[in-house]
Structure 1
Amino acid sequence: MQSSSVAEPVQRNWLIWLAALIVLLGGGFALWRLLSGGGAAPGGPPMGGAVPVTLERLQPTTLRDQASFVGTLDAEAGVVLQPEANGRITRIYVSSGDRVAAGDPIMELSADRSQAELSAALASISAAQSARDNSRSRLQALVAQRIRLEAEVKLQETEFGRTKRLVQAGAQSQQELDEVERDFSAAVASLAAAQEEIEAAQASLGQSEAFLEQSQATAEATREDLLDKTVTAPIAGVVGNIPVALGDYVQPGGTLTTITQNETLELEISVPAEQIGQIQLGMPVELLTFGAEAPVAAGALSFISPQTDAATQTVLAKAQFDNVTGVLQDNQRVDVRVTLSERLGLLVPANAITRLGGQSFVYVAADAPSPPEGQPPVAGPVALLRPVTLGAMQGNNFQILEGLTKDEEIVVTGLLNLQDGVPIAPQADATAP
């Protein structure tokens, strides 16, 4: 008796599961019949009348076969500003994002020590100039004195010769000859001493001029160092991040800021070697920021490298873009679309595509077929499910390779309420993209 009572619940559970399975199979069959148009009488409207929809007439447009890549933008010119001398930042003339011209001041560093050194160097120049001028004046005086002494020596030499002849003739005494000879020897000695003084003065003048040149060089170097304390923009462009602040002590090699010219940007693309045969110089190129649907800039391929990178097996290609809107930046990574070819064809909005069993379909507006004998005709157009072959996406549209022709009207809204052969009530016509 106990085993019989246990078998009854088991049998009841099995019957419940069998009934549920039959219900599911029946519902699936009904759903299949509904999707295939079996839920309505052939050529007849569904319950509730015609479905309101929006139609779009297909017209040929330009289809583009495109290849997608990822590229990096590089600014036409850019510099990193670094101090050329030690100093403390005492003034910052610009802010990040400012546009500057070449030569504009960017920052100023402390210059107290350099200013003192420059003042000392200028004072040294002044002293060297005075010493040089004194040596030059003394040399000029000694030269003039030598000329006078040379004349004196000639005079004494002439007097000595004349007196000597007179003494030999007995006209003058030996004592007078000795006095003239003494004066002649004194004049010669004075001339020799003057020549030595001239040579010493010339050496002194040379030293003074050398000291003056050294002082001038020191002053010039100090002046250059002083100028280095004012950092100016070497090119026109936009100021980047400024990682330093007032009061910071900086040294040569540190970064003060950057200046970048973003008016023209160069795109660099690494094209896989197996795709290099698809691209050619002059092909149109579109740039898209990540997540954007519409291109932000357009250009053309201007360079294709003749070599393949051995490490990455890619080929470098380049294109230039005018950054008119300013939305592009140096070192920015962007999506790139290269247009390989163009032709006329048909585009269908992505929201007009219906997928059933892995196949793509489009609802086409057509005249209702003749109803079976004994049934009333259907007034107005109906939606016919048409299989299509899709190509690549172009924006928010699919290229149609097969299944549709121009001037046909397709349903672009209200698809959730449609079935094959259902009457439709067009609400508005749209123009194909």
Structure 2
Amino acid sequence: MKLAHTFRIPAAQALAAVILLSLPLVAGCAFDSGVAGEPPASEAVTPVVDDAIPVAALPLFRGRIESVLRFSTNLEAENRVDVLAEAERHVTDLLVEEGDSVRAGQTMLLLEDEAQRTALKRVESQLERSRLEYERQRRLFEQELISEQAYNQARYDLEQLELALEDAERELGYATVTAPISGVVTERLINVGDHVETHTKLFEIVDFDSIVARVFVPERQLAGLFVGQPARVLAQSLAGSRDAAIERISPVVDPQSGTVKVTLGIPGNQGLLPGMYVEVDLVAAALEDTLLAPKRALVYDQEQVFVFRVAQDDDGPRAERLLVRILIESEDVVHLEGDLADGERLIVAGQAGLKDGARIRLLDPREALGSGAELGAASTPTYQPAS
């Protein structure tokens, strides 16, 4: 029994010693195999860096584009008349008011006319007697019963009274003031009972169908203008645009400003008013179903214009720099001359500082450009003529 007990104690101690001696080796193996513990900082793995530049791109598309010249001006009415008093009288009746439409020849105002009516009757009576006297003198002269001088005097008296009748009728006519043109009464300056002098302004009439826009075009752009050239008129107070066309082009250049006066007619008025501030777009050129690019894609380098096209190779998408020339531009889109084709994508965000051949990473255009409205403006042709 003693022998057995003595054997067990050393065996247990030996086993414990073996376990303690083995701990450092096991810990080292654990670190080497990565099964347990954390690797030393000096042995951490360096992550791979993605050097692709994030950009957004939009495709080329086909649509309509216009090249326009934009000017600002105030509308004018070519047919505008001041109605003046032709005699010194009192106003007895007022027949129209501001805002009324009138026709040419329509009575607008009446002046006192009693004295003129009496004068006319007096002349008519004298003229009737003179005609009878002339006829009597003519018969006597034909019978050689009176001298030629007496006959000529009778004829002269008749002619003078005929002229007096015309004067009396004219004076009476001055009492009735009529519209010289068709249009709208835009101003009334008198009231019933007023005493007016000769040439006193009574009314102003404007023909709203004669409204024109006059713009002054730089001399260098004169070659692209012609009579009948279409244009648009935009007023801040009215929705949409109004049709117009060039009516006249001045044959001379203003030496001080270097501009040419161009008059545009606006058919049918279209709700425009004289004096209204408007912007005029002269359509210098227009292309239908042509290849268009978002204006955002343009990159200016001194006097040259470039775009970055999305190119694909084995390593993924890359930026390809292309030299282009702007043929027509509007607010949002451009028609370019260059090595471009339908469906190709041009970088519209992130191209600042981009190098030719740089690796790129394509982002969602909606995230890069912001709102859907911004995206639509960059990718679809809209009418916003450039100045």
TM-score interval, smaller chain: 0.5 to 0.7
Cross-structure match for 1:316: 261
> Would you say the 8 A contact 2:211–2:266 is kept in 1?
yes
SS in 2 for 1:121: helix
> Would you say the 8 A contact 2:218–2:258 is kept in 1?
yes
Cross-structure match for 1:112: 114
Deviation of residue 86 (structure 1)?
Answer: 1.6
> Would you say the 8 A contact 2:81–2:205 is kept in 1?
yes
Higher RCO structure, 1 or 2 (CA under 8 Å, sep 6+): 1
SS in 1 for 2:171: helix
2:237 and 2:292 mapped to 1: Cα distance? 25
> Would you say the 8 A contact 2:65–2:335 is kept in 1?
no
1:425 and 1:72 mapped to 2: Cα distance? 41
1:218 matched to 2:164? The reply is: yes
Instruction: Please report the RMSD computed on the Cα atoms of aligned residues, expressed in angstroms.
Output: 5.5
One-letter identity of the residue aligned with 1:111: D
> Would you say the 8 A contact 2:329–2:335 is kept in 1?
no
Match of 2:286 among 342, 352, 358: 342
Q: 1:328-367 CA distances to partner (integer Å, 9 max, x unpaired)?
A: 43x555322222223324365x9x99x9xxxxxxxxxxxx
TM-score by length of 1: 0.51
Going from structure 1 to structure 2, the CA distance change for 1:199 and 1:291 (only over 3 Å counts) comes to closer
Instruction: List alignment gaps of at least 5 residues for structure 1.
Output: 1-40, 43-55, 145-194, 356-369, 371-384, 411-419
One-letter identity of the residue aligned with 1:117: A
Select the structure of larger CA radius of gyration: 1
Deviation of residue 64 (structure 1)?
Answer: 1.6
More helix as a share of residues: 1
Match of 1:397 among 332, 342, 346: 332
> Would you say the 8 A contact 2:211–2:269 is kept in 1?
no
**1:1-400 alignment runs, 5 A limit:** 59-71=61-73, 73-125=75-127, 128=130, 132=133, 136=136, 199=146, 203=150, 210-281=156-227, 283-290=229-236, 294-299=240-245, 301-329=246-274, 332-343=276-287, 344-346=290-292, 394=330, 397-399=332-334
One-letter identity of the residue aligned with 1:338: L
One-letter identity of the residue aligned with 2:242: V
1:432 matched to 2:362? The reply is: no
Q: Which runs of 4+ in 1 moved over 6 A?
A: 385-393, 402-405, 420-431
**1:416-427 alignment runs, 5 A limit:** none
Identity, in percent, stands at: 23
| Number of positions where the alignment pairs a residue of Structure 1 with one of Structure 2 | 301
Instruction: List alignment gaps of at least 5 residues for structure 2.
Output: 1-48, 51-57, 300-314, 347-360, 382-387
Going from structure 1 to structure 2, the CA distance change for 1:73 and 1:347 (only over 3 Å counts) comes to farther
Going from structure 1 to structure 2, the CA distance change for 1:217 and 1:69 (only over 3 Å counts) comes to same
Q: 1:76-98 CA distances to partner (integer Å, 9 max, x unpaired)?
A: 53332222222122222222232
